[in-house]
Chains A and B, each alone.
Chain A
Amino acid sequence: MSTAEPLTTADPLSAPDLGVVGLSKQFADHRAVDDLSFSVDRGSFFSILGPSGCGKTTLLRMIAGFTLPDGGNILIGGRSMQGVAPNRRPVNMVFQHLALFPMMNVGENVEFGLARRGVQRGECRRRADAMLQRVGLAGASHKRIDELSGGQRQRVAIARSLVLEPTLLLLDEPLGALDLKLREHMKIELKQLQASFGTTFVYITHDQSEALVLSDHVAVMNRGRFEQRGTPQELYYEPATAFVAGFVGANNHIVGRLTGVDGAIAEIETDAGWRVHARKSGTMTVGGSVEAFVRPEVVSVEREAALLPQDHVRYAGEVQSLLFDGANSAVLLTEERSHFNIRVALPQTGRLASLEVGERVSFSYDPRRAICFASDGAATSATGSSMPASSHG
């Protein structure tokens, strides 16, 4: 029987629920997880965000015990997991496609883990019913799995794990299979469930919106390493690397050469000769190639240049296309001289909703709210100029 009690003498209350030390995993020719160390505080919602193939699934499977690490250690509740099989770890996992047992009804699914621990039948049933009630599925224990809706299945999968009172609940993109509307709903539900149970959640996803909405802390993972760890706000407003800036939230990605530095503000010139300004992050040399990121909501657009703030550089452009999405509406502008396409968020008041394709407009932004990094060549290809469609644009 596996319990959460650590066997070490360390004070279990002071140990973080999850500690990862120098963890590595190599698959044939690529390093899935590369010397990773981090810890997750008790009771927090921690997300690992990264593109597919970044190693996040491998990391999760190593924590669950399905994959053996090549090096490093995993501590759960202060106890080393070296040589501990998955069925004896104080960890449970919600699988990507939930993996509910179709040969059992809802109640039997929830009782499964308890019965394996040797809990008496009546007690199993009582605890399973209580858990189903907590996730809002009271009285559903006799239903078959295929009689449930997507959201209900989700809750059964979580109930099945939480009934075992794990130290850590791992979630492997469980919302991926749901349609958009239900996914938005389940995000809120997951966050509320985590808050009410107080169990530590480790959630992996490639969807930055899920990670930002749900988490207390997010780690952005790329090529087996964490690019940055922080609160969703830190990742969004203070990205540490070009990869994070490109991956978290929508961003305009401008590549050019550094032509000058004025205090904290760098001046960048693109190949097409467009001069832009952005806050400098890290060291960079004049003449070296850099990449700047300007968020769509940082840019102001007006029909008349005079309406824009006096102290920002103003640019002229032409409306190339309108991207109407209610409160998240944006326009794609083509800068006059360089023909660079920049995405600009429209005011939520709907004041500029009447803009038309081909109309000439002026735009400007506060360079302190844009950010630029020295190009290392590698990050450029990873981020590209892709703009994830998201509700955080």
Chain B
Amino acid sequence: MHGVWQRRLMLTLLLAPALLWLFALIVLPHVDLALLSFRERTAPREYQAGLAQYRTFFTEPLYWHVFVRTAIMSMLATALTLVIAFPIAWVITKVARGRASSLLFVVCLIPFWVSETVRALGWLILLRESGVLPVLLAKFGLTAVPVELLYHDTTILTGLVYTSLLFMVVPLVSSLESLDDSLIEAAYDLGANGLSILRRIVIPHAAPGITAGCIVVFMLTLGNYLTPNLLGGKNSQWFTELIYTQFIVRFNWEQGAAFGFLLLALSTAIVALGLRLSGQRFVDVMRRS
């Protein structure tokens, strides 16, 4: 009896930090924000429960527009990241051997030693009108005068893909590493070509890794504030900027909280849809990655 009691105490103590963290930093603020989002101001310092904040979202076209735009751009960034990261992960796991393989991995990792702000500022130096790339383009006569490469949607996408690349490469590498080379050889031996090996052997095997990478990258992109703001400027129209504005500029916490929950609902819905479409289970995906 003594042993059982002791084991229970041990388990409780071990779990305590995690539970405390979960409760204090995730559950409590969300409950508070949820309460905030469901109240409306009737007079100074007077509030009543209501759906006014959510109603505003649906009646104001700008909010809608930014919301949908953020979702589509995030999906696009996720897809691009996957397309770029897959060959990188393939080279790291299947082409490079030994030291070269670890070296390539480190090369992917190194940019992340620098803070995201500094990396975004690096892009500014490269892409602004008087920056390195426009000046070079003008010098080689590809453009008449240096052009402004910042503040385009493409710039935002570039920055987002660059920021997310590692989070896609890591799960892909771990799932491709477990792919036995002899399966690829066997498929080749049975008459398959590169494309059918990719479609029938590699992608089904790597599916949990692909899904995990996509979920992580999509979440990070959707919730990113810094990169769209710095690289897109006023044109970025990212949903997190609306939330920021409501909280910090307008001091309208009620509206900001409602936007926050809408973003949470959006990301949950899209991830659920993605899992449904790819036939994956969330638990399996998280276990494999």
Give A residues with C-beta under 8 Å from B: 2, 64, 66, 85-88, 91-93, 95-97, 99-104, 112-113, 116-117, 160-161, 164
Complex Cα gap A104–B205 (Å): 10
A87, B201: Cβ atoms under 8 Å? Answer: no
A112, B185: Cβ atoms under 8 Å? Answer: no
* CB-contact partner of B192 in A95, A96, A102, A116, under 8 A: A116
CB distance from A286 to the nearest CB of B (A): 54
A86, B189: Cβ atoms under 8 Å? Answer: yes
Given contacts A2-B191, A116-B192, A164-B190, contact A99 B205 (CB under 8 A): no
Residues of B within 8 Å of A88, CB to CB, are 191
* CB-contact partner of B190 in A85, A103, A113, under 8 A: A113
A103, B204: Cβ atoms under 8 Å? Answer: yes
B190, A161: Cβ atoms under 8 Å? Answer: yes
B182, A96: Cβ atoms under 8 Å? Answer: yes
B192, A99: Cβ atoms under 8 Å? Answer: no
Size bin of chain B's contact surface: 10 to 19
Complex Cα gap A100–B192 (Å): 14
Complex Cα gap A116–B187 (Å): 9
A93, B193: Cβ atoms under 8 Å? Answer: no
CB distance from B288 to the nearest CB of A (A): 13
* CB-contact partner of B200 in A66, A92, A95, A112, under 8 A: A112
- Listed by A's residue number, 25 A-B pairs whose Cβ atoms lie within 8 Å are A2-B191, A64-B189, A66-B185, A85-B188, A86-B188, A86-B189, A87-B189, A87-B190, A87-B191, A87-B192, A87-B193, A92-B189, A93-B185, A93-B189, A99-B185, A99-B186, A100-B186, A101-B183, A101-B200, A102-B205, A112-B192, A113-B191, A116-B193, A116-B196, A161-B190
Complex Cα gap A29–B125 (Å): 51
Residues of B within 8 Å of A93, CB to CB, are 185-186, 189
Complex Cα gap A96–B204 (Å): 23
Residues of B within 8 Å of A102, CB to CB, are 205
Residues of B within 8 Å of A116, CB to CB, are 190-193, 196
Residues of B within 8 Å of A92, CB to CB, are 189-190
CB distance from B1 to the nearest CB of A (A): 42
Q: Does B180 contact A (CB under 8 A)?
A: yes
Interface residues of B in 169-227 (CB under 8 A from A): 180, 182-183, 185-193, 196, 200-201, 204-205
Complex Cα gap A161–B185 (Å): 13
CB distance from B249 to the nearest CB of A (A): 51
CB distance from B271 to the nearest CB of A (A): 23
| Complex A-B, nearest 3 residue pairs according to Cβ-Cβ distance, in ascending order | A113-B190, A99-B186, A116-B191
Residues of B within 8 Å of A112, CB to CB, are 187, 190, 192, 200
Given contacts A66-B185, A95-B182, A99-B182, contact A160 B201 (CB under 8 A): no
Complex Cα gap A117–B191 (Å): 7
Given contacts A103-B204, A103-B205, contact A97 B192 (CB under 8 A): no
CB distance from A62 to the nearest CB of B (A): 13
Closest to B186 in A: A99
Residues of A within 8 Å of B183, CB to CB, are 99, 101
B201, A103: Cβ atoms under 8 Å? Answer: yes
Complex Cα gap A73–B35 (Å): 79
Given contacts A96-B182, A99-B182, contact A87 B188 (CB under 8 A): yes
Residues of A within 8 Å of B200, CB to CB, are 101, 103-104, 112
* CB-contact partner of B180 in A87, A99, A117, A164, under 8 A: A99
CB distance from A289 to the nearest CB of B (A): 44
CB distance from A169 to the nearest CB of B (A): 11
Complex Cα gap A66–B190 (Å): 12
CB distance from A158 to the nearest CB of B (A): 13
Residues of A within 8 Å of B204, CB to CB, are 103
Residues of A within 8 Å of B185, CB to CB, are 66, 86, 93, 95, 99
CB distance from B258 to the nearest CB of A (A): 44
Closest to A157 in B: B186
Residues of A within 8 Å of B186, CB to CB, are 93, 95, 99-101
Closest to A113 in B: B190
Complex Cα gap A103–B205 (Å): 7
CB distance from B223 to the nearest CB of A (A): 33
Closest to B193 in A: A87
Residues of A within 8 Å of B188, CB to CB, are 66, 85-87
Residues of A within 8 Å of B191, CB to CB, are 2, 87-88, 113, 116-117, 164
Residues of B within 8 Å of A164, CB to CB, are 190-191
Closest to B201 in A: A101
Residues of B within 8 Å of A113, CB to CB, are 190-191
Residues of B within 8 Å of A2, CB to CB, are 191
CB distance from A61 to the nearest CB of B (A): 9
Residues of B within 8 Å of A91, CB to CB, are 189
Complex Cα gap A116–B182 (Å): 18
